[in-house]
Structure 1
């Protein structure tokens, strides 16, 4: 009998393996290119490699002792499959928040002070916010590299000491007590403490406050300074000035005291316009500074340089008029500030 013998060679078996898995490669290539989330893409890649290995193993088992074809062998002789990571990176998923590129800077501001630091939706606005953005720009940060963090008055030193923020720009008066634990650049504005009362209420002068309840916020020096001038006051403290305004509007308190910039901002809100008035003149001089961590002399000097540029190029006056009104409404002859803190 004439018999024909087929001799199997490794090259022949590899060609058969390629032929058998070709449909699988095509299908998995489509999966890998389909986009979607990074998790889904990485899963597809793992499935692809598993299917390739399984198919190659099957072709080897069918042939007995021929070498196993695997994905790395195929990529050496055939067109490579598209990269799963490249596919994922070409389909970024938007989180709905501004994209921050490069290094970022965290700045503490207020979120509840109209005209100074107010958050509406996802946007922070106000004089302090504009000053912070300008200074950050001089330090090399674009607006989309700035992250504003809400900082209550009583937490301002803590967030600086812990490194949670790089600087605090939040109606932060420069005082010797604060300078003992942090450093401050500036001032960038000279405000004055005043008192806000209801327009149609019984209080018209500071002396009328005797025996009444006056609101301020925890961590502020305002009530203590007013009490030194007007004895017989009862203190009411909240964490935020906005809570004081609500209490003043509903009659729970008789007055609130803080810087005239803050009080004017609240009085000018549409829902309160005409309902409040300022009394008592200017009780103190409040020099708004920018708080930084103790010992950061280099940053202090850079900030002071930025503040001088802000005044010189007209940005300071533009920011004041935009957010607070005519600078002449505030402490006469005090603005813009000329004498800045010495960084040491």
Structure 2
């Protein structure tokens, strides 16, 4: 299925303090998504009329990142499919990841959906309604070549410094394995921490690590030394109880898998076709 041209998107830079203020000041308006929005086809109520507002956390290539004046990526393209179904344009808002995973920005009516490589788990389900899974995730260890590291066991045995991105499931995973990792605010700072020696090894989602390795300067010095199959799946987050929007998002994901659009987007951003199980 052919893909349409990328729409222009406005990037709004947010912060945790702003989210807190929004949470305090937001008041219910009787709509399924909060905020004073307008209805679209299918009866979906949006926080901003004529827009599907997406909260995300940059930079997280290839899922969401800036390219020139635009925000692009796999997650962005998936939500563009939802916006097209609703007959609106997508607007992307950059927000601290902790406020996204807690559901605060959704409850405050700051955005309609959260698309930020967001792993579905029971803790988050208490505050967020998730779509059907749209991506099977795997964690990875990235280290300087020649370190002799092939597992988390090697990291512990060699007493190496382990780094992880704050508020992520990768961080939780290694903590549950008995590590006390250095925490970095975002993926870019995490990679910089590896390059500057703040960490000897870092844990990150495999597609993000593989995207870093496409850059010759990174590939010359570093490598994925282990893959950690954590059984994670990503979902699109929405305010709890927003049944109309949840139904629309699920329909889009399922239709994209059925008609080949999902495979096309996957290959566009990851360079390969998804596995049969992931594409089903």
Q: Give the TM-score band, short-chain normalised.
A: 0.7 to 0.9
Q: CA deviation at 1:159?
A: 1.2
Question: Equivalent of 1:149, from 87, 90, 93?
Answer: 93
1:173 corresponds in structure 2 to 119
Q: CA deviation at 1:221?
A: 2.3
Distance 1:264 1:150 in 2: 23
Give the structure, 1 or 2, with the largest relative contact order (CA under 8 Å, sep 6 or more).
2
2:85 corresponds in structure 1 to 138
2:164 corresponds in structure 1 to 216
8 Å CA contact retained: 1:106, 1:146: yes
Residues 232-277 of structure 1: CA distance to partner in whole angstroms, max 9, x if unpaired?
x331112101100011122220111132122222222344233322
When normalised by structure 2's length, the TM-score is: 0.76
Matches within 5 A, 1:52-71: none
| Structure 1 counterpart SS, 2:229 | coil
Name the one with the larger helix percent.
Answer: 1
Residues 174-204 of structure 1: CA distance to partner in whole angstroms, max 9, x if unpaired?
1011011110102111111221112233423
Distance 1:266 1:111 in 2: 15
Determine whether 1:239 maps to 2:190: no
Question: Equivalent of 1:191, from 137, 143, 149?
Answer: 137
Give the 3 Å change call, closer, same or farther, for CA 269–117 of structure 1 in structure 2: farther
| Structure 2 counterpart SS, 1:284 | strand
Give the 3 Å change call, closer, same or farther, for CA 147–271 of structure 1 in structure 2: farther
Structure 2: any 5+ residue segments left out of the alignment? 1-7, 11-48
1:75 corresponds in structure 2 to none
Q: CA deviation at 1:121?
A: 2.4
8 Å CA contact retained: 1:172, 1:291: yes
Give the 3 Å change call, closer, same or farther, for CA 287–178 of structure 1 in structure 2: same
Give the 3 Å change call, closer, same or farther, for CA 265–110 of structure 1 in structure 2: farther
Matches within 5 A, 1:39-54: none
Question: Equivalent of 1:122, from 69, 77, 92?
Answer: 69
Give the 3 Å change call, closer, same or farther, for CA 263–139 of structure 1 in structure 2: same
8 Å CA contact retained: 1:109, 1:129: no
Give the 3 Å change call, closer, same or farther, for CA 334–213 of structure 1 in structure 2: farther
Give the 3 Å change call, closer, same or farther, for CA 226–327 of structure 1 in structure 2: farther
Structure 1: any 5+ residue segments left out of the alignment? 1-96, 339-344
Deviating 4+ runs (over 3 angstroms): none
Q: CA deviation at 1:208?
A: 1.0
Question: Equivalent of 1:318, from 264, 267, 270?
Answer: 264
Q: CA deviation at 1:300?
A: 0.7
8 Å CA contact retained: 2:119, 2:169: no
8 Å CA contact retained: 2:166, 2:184: yes
Distance 1:274 1:286 in 2: 29
8 Å CA contact retained: 2:161, 2:201: yes
When normalised by structure 1's length, the TM-score is: 0.63
| Structure 1 counterpart SS, 2:115 | strand
Residues 261-300 of structure 1: CA distance to partner in whole angstroms, max 9, x if unpaired?
2222222234423332223323301111000001111111
8 Å CA contact retained: 2:9, 2:71: no
| Structure 1 counterpart SS, 2:109 | coil
Q: How many residues are paired up?
A: 232
Q: CA RMSD in A?
A: 2.2
